[in-house]
Amino acid sequence: MDRKVSTRSAARAETERAILSAAEAVFAEHGYRGATTGMIAERAGIPKANLHYYFATKEALYRQVVENIFMIWLDAANSFDDCEDPEEALTHYITTKMDISRQHPMGSKVWANEILHRAPVIQDYLETTLREWTATRIAIIERWVGEGRMDPVDPRTLLYMIWSTTQHYADFIHQIETLNDGKPLSDDQFAIARDNVVRIILSGVGIRARAASSVKAGAAR
């Protein structure tokens, strides 16, 4: 038991983590207004008053949740730059975004809610970080087009298509599951969806698959 330095601060970190995790789930499922600090506290296993000791206001807690999500989103976004080849870069980026939707659906839902409501909390992020990120990637796509490595497409439209299609598997998962006889997508079904998304978009912008990565097109059931 050589814990001396860590017990106190570790406990604090753990409580904060539990609150943020609970908050993400509750905000995702009920939206900002629909979520109550009581629900979040209960899910985190602490009294409501204690939650307000760690996060002064509901809005501050919400802001922290959204910022965390934005950071994950940004990390994934950097996978765009891992390769110079458009086929590899787009395949990697789309695959990564699909996997995030699969493994981190609540974050995407919170983000969708925030944008739907005109981004009252994270407007500054949209106008700075996101705007810069988008501008540089548009430049990359335009260069690829100029080099004839893909068809001439409007880069914004392509980016929005990638964002919307991949995030659909998080934001609209309830609709997808309902249309899957009420059952969650199996790993196989999701893999088929992911591969089809990659293939349709790449083929859609005139990038011919070179590698023989076996992409199945079979029906999803």
- Residue that the structure tokens 């997808």 belong to: 176
Contacted entry of DNA, a second copy, none for residue 205, CB cut-off 5 to 8 Å set by kind: a second copy
**Separation of CA 63 from chain center:** 16
CA dist 151 and 153 (Å) reads: 6
Q: Does 178 bind a second copy (CB under 8 A)?
A: yes
Tell the smallest beta-carbon distance from residue 20 to DNA (Å).
14
Is position 50 an interface residue for a second copy (rule: CB under 8 A)? no
CA distance 92 to 145: 19
Number of Cβ atoms within 10 Å of the Cβ of 181: 7
3-state helix, strand, coil split of the chain in percent (to 5) is 75, 0, 25
CB 138 within 8 A of CB 203: no
- Measuring CA to CA, which residue among 142, 139, 160 is closest to residue 150? 142
Footprint on residues 42-101 left by DNA (CB under 7 A): 46-50, 52-54, 56-59
Would you mind telling me the total number of residues written for the chain in this entry? 221
**Does residue number 15 form part of the binding site for DNA (CB under 7 A)?**
yes
Interface with DNA by CB under 7 A: which range of 32-40, 71-79, 119-127, 135-143? 32-40
What is the binding site for DNA (CB under 7 A)? 4-5, 7-9, 11-12, 15, 35-38, 46-50, 52-54, 56-59
Contacts to a second copy by CB under 8 A: 28-34, 109, 112-113, 115-119, 123, 126-127, 130-131, 134, 142, 151-158, 160-161, 163-165, 167-169, 171-172, 174-176, 178-179, 182, 192-193, 196-197, 199-206, 217-220
